[in-house]
């Protein structure tokens, strides 16, 4: 993608207390034409149960919009929703939920060319504003599809405060991963004819810095939630501007993909998997890890692989597989010979970093 390709930016990013209860007023401020257009709300069955009052309120605010419980975060489901949108002349899709819902609704809006309003119930990763959707294709196999980013993003700080802490930790992990991703991006550019987009690089670095250097350590404070939500959105915009996921995804993400593809029984979120991946990635890159280990410890993010059911043998194999999961993506892994002794030492160091 050349440097002058046009890119899309959201018209609205609102991070407010009780934003879900006055989402129509927020949209009226930024995109008044949308109000009154035929709208559909996409969520998941259990979320519709938990947040019934809020979701019913949003539906009423948008002309008694139909509420649809999606069945899976899959390509087929997104296409099925897009078909409904096109056939029934629906103009606006509102996605309410975590990454699964937001990726499905985002791709459905992309295919159907509907306006997409993103309303996250947790901040577990940077997919809320990214130009990509990760969806199941056949069975549990997943693929990343390019798509249009949201027209509007509305974050209700009360929702995030009440979300499980693990989901917020996952969002922190996805943000900290930008540290090693940016190193790999520069490394890749130096070995190929590609360029690093300076603006996308700066945005991704700001995303990392804003969370890493944040004085507020209370993850349930409104200040922290505002900073984390903006950081995740900045990451999404960096990818949109770069025309690829390179500003936010490097060797640490290849490690996470290796877990997802080869060790599906390991129960770890995407954000926590990339957080685990940043520590060895830093070491392979010759970067200092004490600061990041200290940061994770201060936020209660556990980096002992064993606590996720990952043994020494599995850990070594995951890094071996990480080289192969995305062929053509140059990272630090291409230039190093995997040394089992070093990997065992890294594993032990992570185990001790309690």
Secondary structure of residue 129 in the 3-state scheme:
coil
Cα 259 to the chain's mean position, in Å? 17
Instruction: Report angle CA 89, 121, 102 to the nearest 5 degrees.
Output: 40
Beta-strand relationship, 142-146 and 132-136: antiparallel
Under a CB-based contact definition with an 8 Å cutoff, are residues 109 and 57 in contact?
no
Q: Quick one: average pLDDT of 26-41?
A: 94
The residue among 256, 273, 265 whose CA lies nearest residue 321 is 256
Asked whether the predicted pLDDT for residue 295 surpasses 90, the reply is yes
Q: Which helix (H) or strand (E) holds 117?
A: strand 115-120
Under a CB-based contact definition with an 8 Å cutoff, are residues 311 and 285 in contact?
no
Q: What mean pLDDT, rounded, does the chain reach? A: 94
Cα gap 220→163, rounded to integer Å? 9
Separate counts of helices (H) and strands (E) for the chain = 15, 8
Asked whether the predicted pLDDT for residue 3 surpasses 80, the reply is no
Quickly count: other Cβ atoms within 10 Å of residue 12's Cβ.
15
Cα gap 280→288, rounded to integer Å? 10
Indicate the pLDDT class of residue 5, thresholds 50, 70 and 90: low
- Residues 73-88: tens digit of each pLDDT: 999 999 999 999 999 9
Under a CB-based contact definition with an 8 Å cutoff, are residues 282 and 292 in contact?
yes
Cα gap 306→347, rounded to integer Å? 9
Q: Quick one: average pLDDT of 33-42?
A: 95
pLDDT of residue 140: 77
Cα gap 161→163, rounded to integer Å? 6
Asked whether the predicted pLDDT for residue 1 surpasses 80, the reply is no
Buried-exposed string 102-140: b where 16+ CB fall within 10 A, e elsewhere: bbbbbbbbbbbebbbbbbbbbbbbbbbbbbbbbbbeeee
Secondary structure of residue 327 in the 3-state scheme:
coil
DSSP designation for 119: E
Cα gap 81→97, rounded to integer Å? 16
CB within 8 Å of 208: residues ≥ 6 apart: 175, 176, 178, 179, 182, 231
Q: Quick one: average pLDDT of 203-217?
A: 95
Asked whether the predicted pLDDT for residue 34 surpasses 80, the reply is yes
Under a CB-based contact definition with an 8 Å cutoff, are residues 236 and 308 in contact?
no
- Residues 213-254: tens digit of each pLDDT: 999 888 889 999 999 999 999 999 999 999 999 999 999 999
pLDDT of residue 9: 86
């Amino acid at each position: 993608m050349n440097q002058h390709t046009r890119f899309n930016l959201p018209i609205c990013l609102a991070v407010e207390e009780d934003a879900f209860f006055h989402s129509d007023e927020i949209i009226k401020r930024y995109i008044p034409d949308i109000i009154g257009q035929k709208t559909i709300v996409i969520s998941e069955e259990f979320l519709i149960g938990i947040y019934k009052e809020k979701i019913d309120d949003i539906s009423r605010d948008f002309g008694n919009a139909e509420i649809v419980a999606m069945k899976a975060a899959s390509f087929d489901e997104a296409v099925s929703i897009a078909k409904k949108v096109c056939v029934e002349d629906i103009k606006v899709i509102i996605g309410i939920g975590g990454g699964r819902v937001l990726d499905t609704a985002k791709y459905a809006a992309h295919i159907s060319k509907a306006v997409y309003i993103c309303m996250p119930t947790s901040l577990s990763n940077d997919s809320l504003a990214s130009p990509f959707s990760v969806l199941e294709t056949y069975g549990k196999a997943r693929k990343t599809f390019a798509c249009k980013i949201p027209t509007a993003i509305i974050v209700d700080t009360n929702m995030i405060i009440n979300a499980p802490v693990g989901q917020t930790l996952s969002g922190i992990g996805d943000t900290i991963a930008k540290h090693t991703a940016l190193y790999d991006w520069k490394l890749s550019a130096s070995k190929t004819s590609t360029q690093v987009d300076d603006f996308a690089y700066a945005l991704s670095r700001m995303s990392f810095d804003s969370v890493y250097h944040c004085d507020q350590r209370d993850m349930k404070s409104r200040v922290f939630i505002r900073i984390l939500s903006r950081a995740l959105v900045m990451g999404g915009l960096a990818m949109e501007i770069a025309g690829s996921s390179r500003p936010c995804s490097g060797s640490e993400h290849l490690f996470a993909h290796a877990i997802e593809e080869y060790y599906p029984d390991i129960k770890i979120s995407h954000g926590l998997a990339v957080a685990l991946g940043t520590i060895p990635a830093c070491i392979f890159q010759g970067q200092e890890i004490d600061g990041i280990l200290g940061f994770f410890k201060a936020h209660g993010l556990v980096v002992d692989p064993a606590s996720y059911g990952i043994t020494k043998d599995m850990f070594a194999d995951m890094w071996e597989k990480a080289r192969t999961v995305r062929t053509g993506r140059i990272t630090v892994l291409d230039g190093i010979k995997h040394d089992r002794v070093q990997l065992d030492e890294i594993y032990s160091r992570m185990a001790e970093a309690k």
